[in-house]
Chain A
Amino acid sequence: MPMIGQSIKRREDLKYVTGSGTYVDDITLPGMLYATFVRSPHAHARLLGVDTGKALEHPKGIDAITGAEAYPLAGPMPVYSYRQATAIKKPDYRCLAHDRVRFVGEPVALVAAADRYAADDVAELVEVRYEPLEPLMDPDESLKPGAPKLHDNLDNNVGLRIERQGGDMEAAYREADFVFKRRYRMHRHTGTPIETRGCIAQYNTGTKELTLHCSTQIPHILKTHLSEILDFPEFKIRVIAPDVGGGFGNKLQVPPEVVALCLMAIKTRRPVKWIETRRESLMAFLHAREQTHDVEIPVKRDGTILGIKSHEIVNAGGYLDARISGPSLGAGMWLPGPYMVKGYQVDIDAVMTNKCPYGAYRGFGSQMGTLVIERSMDLIARQLGRDPVDLRRQNVIKETPYKTVTGHEFDSGDYEAGLDKALEMVDYPALREEQARLRKEGRYMGIGVAMAVEGAGWNTYTAAMAQHYVPTLDYATVTMRMDTSGNVTVLIGDVACGTSHATTAAQVAADATGLPIDTIEVVEGDTAVTPYDSGTRAARFSAVVLPAVAESGMALKKKVCRVGAHLLEGAEEDMEIVEGQVQVRGVPDKSLPVSRVARVAYSEVATLPREIPAGLEATESFKAPVSGLCITWPYSIHIPVVEVDIETGTVKFLRYAIVHDCGVEINPMVVEGQVVGGTAQGVGGALLEELVYDEDGQLLTTSFMDYLIPTATDMPSFEVCHLQTAAPQIPGGYKGMGEGGCVYVYAAVVNAVADAIEPLGVEITSTPLSPSRILELLREAGSNGGKA
């Protein structure tokens, strides 16, 4: 029975349900010290001096490192150059601040002490003198002529400029009967994995090796960057990602803190552990999402959407994170949605402010582009007196493959059929009748529709290795090794962070080799034993890594069959592996257990002809077959149904229907888990979560008491319909789906809430839609029934 397509139970779960998982804070090394960062309490200040004298007098204080000390030892943090970036300025971003601090929580010094609590005591004794400066919190302020420059080496406060266009935008304007214009704003929030960042750095004076245990999605990429930043030989660095307690794109970061921790390990010659507190994490781990779009959409009176143009402003924070281009560009590239437009144009400015740096978070900008186009579809429909579904149906791409104005080819899928399926799931006409009936009773039910084509597997990461853009393709390399008893280890260079790799890779490996799944084990995350890999990102595991697993499995099978053919005195091409037996095809009597073949290949090599190599191991690579920005094109349609209580501003979910297509599913149970989980995360983003700064640049949301991630009672039961259109260019047909519902959910939920309260004269163009914000909108519209 093929393993691919089976909802088998996860092979990683036994350790987790028994508490025997190993996350970074579960690891203790002999002689290990604990580190705590001293962080800036100011949003913007000149750093006048850092005095560690008293700290080092503390009986448990071991050592300290300041920005001034670190400056010559560690180079600037990386910023990726993408082809699409027409200008990129690189602020001098160091692991510890040395001249100015530019956001609350920025690290200025690092102390090491004998234990966890003492490290905090010692950090409190570090004396830092600041000269506070006026903070810039809003990109509009940063862009004003004469605004103070946040970085001396930049011409102004624009850190990144991207200009992109495609198709014929002039024709779109020419043919338009009117131009729809709006300003949209998405608020700042982030992924907040329940496991915060953490790392243990260790330096061996004898071997001159630097070993890190680090909670990261990118062990190999991190190693490469550390080598560059620290000017340290890459082959002497080993990064081990143990169990990772959630990543969501945030852990694609190259953390400045980890660079400083390496310096401390080298300096003290002892392992040093740093585990971030939740407060630190909310202040200084990556933030995401905050953008505004000034949008123009030329439209014909008959409802034809002709094009879309936007000026996108990203609040980039105090420094540019390595991946700033990604979510900036992602939003721009998703503006045309799944619709047949003639042209698009986007001008993107990532603007420096005194907030935490802005980086990757599940969805990578696509949710913002989707929010802009999908909100606009609803508003245009209303303006034209049309049903929003009807307007989508008129404009949606009817046939694939389809060349988009953004320069991509949507290669497969039937978007209109997906829409129909979703409408059928909720019985759309009946819902509209129900809505009309409830409105007469003074109840506000809303139906939200959002659809998009989601790109998976970004081709851009190796730009990381160059200071300028170089053309690149994503790829994955996988090694498969059979041991002397016939069991197989699959070595993969990325790392699971809840993403079920140990199960799905074993399913693919089992089918590729013909071996029982119980004899296959997956090892990931250790750069010393796995092939180079760009990490767990961009939903690429299925689209890029698993084809490499299959290639490598087939190569191993070939080697097993070759030894088997010799032992069975048959032809190699007549061999097959069935349930752990090597046999002559169709002749089960002529067979040998794989374990016997393995024993010969390792221990009885003398009995084999010289041309058959010893051992059983295969390494194969899979290169992305497509050179565009993305490799595969999953898509989805979301229809949430909500009721808004106009007295309290709360949103209650009545239904939530999802149709999605991620190509061939390896494990439908895992796929559904990702779809539902990603959607839930986005519901939190749309309705609850916001990183709020006051005008002085203080972050007001520094715990889960203020930063509200969804609880079990906030979530509906999601209904999921799976379509499976195989990806034509990927062996196996997988498209990838780790972004889950995160791409679509914002637009869908915002549209649902907007639809609910639209009769009260409210137009929604910004998020979050927290209860207080909904009440404010109702008050502004004079429509909360006269209640407070």
Chain B
Amino acid sequence: MARTVQATVNGRKYHEENVEPRLLLVHFLRDRLGLTGTHVGCDSTNCGACTVMFNGKAVKSCTVLAVRADGAAITTIEGVADEEQLHPLQEGFWEKHGLQCGYCTPGMIMSALQLLERHPDPDEETVRLELEGNLCRCTGYQNIVEAVLWAAGRLRGASA
């Protein structure tokens, strides 16, 4: 039984009809709304490439049904900042070479957003622990950790 989903994604209101109940949120975002920055890497909630903010919490959108997004506020990588003024996390990943192929990067940044909300001044161990649910095959994580610590410093500086 197809449903209607009304959701706010990156601050914009969407009204989508005929949403199959089995449609995954990640495919709703990618195939219906054209927001292809959110990626699919494993289909089983392990790799985190599909991470988005869902009502303020980082979730893996490959195991959320799109119909659950009815009434929800969602932020994807496309909504983190605009090109003119990157979010410090985006800057940090760029500055510290925190990405190579870039496929895990959007999910990694979305998880890191939540990490920094929870821990504005994290140490290395905290960063590694909090990002355990996001897999990267290229970097060995070293520069991802650096990127997040760099962004944390920036954000603290900005709020001080």
A residues at B contact (CB < 8 Å): 9-10, 12-23, 25-26, 28, 116-117, 191-196, 243-248, 275, 277-279, 497-500, 669-670, 672-674, 676-677, 679-681, 703-705, 709-713, 715, 717-718
Contacts and interface: CB of A to CB of B under 8 A. Distances in A.
A195 B39 contact: yes
A741 B120 CA distance: 33
A210 B41 CA distance: 28
Given A25-B40, A704-B46, A194 B90 contact: no
Nearest to B146: A717
A187 to B, nearest CB: 18
B105 A16 contact: yes
Contact of A17 (B105, B128, B142): B105
A705 B78 contact: no
Given A278-B42, A498-B100, A681-B137, A20 B37 contact: yes
Contacts of B36: 19, 22-23, 25-26
A116 B46 contact: no
A716 to B, nearest CB: 9
Contact of A500 (B22, B43, B100): B100
Contacts of B41: 194-196, 245, 278
Given A14-B83, A17-B86, A703-B42, A193 B132 contact: no
B145 interface: yes
A676 B90 contact: no
Interface stretch (B1-9, B91-99, B152-160): B91-99
Nearest to A7: B97
Given A9-B97, A715-B142, A718-B142, 17 more contacts: A16-B106, A17-B91, A17-B102, A18-B77, A19-B38, A23-B36, A194-B42, A195-B39, A243-B102, A244-B101, A248-B137, A670-B97, A673-B100, A676-B139, A705-B46, A709-B137, A712-B127
B139 A246 contact: no
Contacts of B59: none
B140 A193 contact: no
B37 A19 contact: yes
A413 to B, nearest CB: 24
B17 interface: no
A16 to B, nearest CB: 3
A715 B90 CA distance: 23
Given A13-B93, A17-B90, A704-B47, A673 B143 contact: yes
Nearest to A20: B37
Contacts of A710: 140-141
Nearest to B102: A16
B94 A715 contact: no
Given A9-B94, A277-B43, A677 B38 contact: no
Interface residues of B, number: 60
Nearest to B36: A26
A695 to B, nearest CB: 25
A191 B37 contact: no
A670 B96 CA distance: 10
Contacts of B30: 25-26
Interface of B: 20, 22-23, 27, 30-31, 35-44, 46-47, 49, 76-78, 80-81, 83, 86, 90-91, 93-95, 97, 99-106, 109, 124, 127-129, 131-145
From A28, A246, A709, name the one whose CB has the most chain B CB atoms within 10 angstroms: A246
Contact of B132 (A244, A246, A677, A711): A711
Closest CB pairs A-B (n = 8) = A19-B37, A680-B140, A245-B103, A16-B102, A498-B101, A498-B100, A19-B77, A704-B46
B97 A669 contact: yes
A13 B103 contact: no
A619 to B, nearest CB: 29
The dominant DSSP class at the B interface is loop
B93 A676 contact: no
Contacts of B143: 673, 676
From B39, B91, B94, B140, name the one whose CB has the most chain A CB atoms within 10 angstroms: B140
B83 A18 contact: yes
B77 A13 contact: no
B43 A245 contact: no
The dominant DSSP class at the A interface is loop
From B49, B76, B97, B143, name the one whose CB has the most chain A CB atoms within 10 angstroms: B97
B76 to A, nearest CB: 7
Contacts of B78: 18-20
A586 B80 CA distance: 49
A10 B97 contact: yes
Given A243-B102, A712-B128, A17 B93 contact: yes
Contacts of A711: 131-133, 135, 141
B132 A713 contact: yes
B128 A713 contact: yes
Contacts of B97: 9-10, 669-670, 672-673
Nearest to A718: B142
Given A709-B137, A712-B131, A194 B100 contact: no
Given A9-B94, A712-B131, A18 B37 contact: yes
Contact of B31 (A116, A500, A679, A718): A116
B37 A681 contact: no
B131 to A, nearest CB: 5
Contact of B44 (A245, A248, A278, A718): A278
Given A194-B47, A278-B42, A712-B127, A21 B141 contact: no
Contact of B135 (A18, A672, A709): A709
Given A277-B43, A673-B143, A17 B109 contact: yes
A362 to B, nearest CB: 10
B128 to A, nearest CB: 4
A10 to B, nearest CB: 7
Nearest to B37: A19
A482 B31 CA distance: 38
8 contacts: A17-B94, A17-B102, A192-B137, A194-B49, A673-B97, A673-B138, A705-B44, A712-B132
Contact of A704 (B27, B37, B42, B136): B42
A23 B101 CA distance: 10
Contacts of A26: 30, 36
Contacts of B124: 717
A23 B103 contact: yes
Given A194-B101, A712-B127, A9 B139 contact: no
B51 to A, nearest CB: 12
A16 B90 CA distance: 9
Contacts of A21: 37, 102-103
A13 B47 CA distance: 21
A248 B139 CA distance: 12
Contact of A193 (B90, B127, B137): B137
Nearest to B41: A194
B100 to A, nearest CB: 3
A196 B135 CA distance: 14
A246 B138 contact: yes
B137 A704 contact: no
Nearest to B78: A19
A19 B140 contact: no
A245 B47 contact: no
Nearest to B46: A704
A704 B44 contact: yes
Given A244-B101, A676-B140, A713 B135 contact: no
A461 to B, nearest CB: 22
B101 A193 contact: yes
A712 B149 CA distance: 14
Contact of B43 (A10, A279, A677, A709): A279
Contacts of A20: 37, 78
A713 B23 CA distance: 33
A677 B49 contact: no
A133 B2 CA distance: 44
From A16, A17, A25, name the one whose CB has the most chain B CB atoms within 10 angstroms: A17
Contacts of A14: 83, 94
Contacts of B94: 9-10, 13-14, 17
B101 A246 contact: yes
Contacts of B141: 680, 710-712, 715
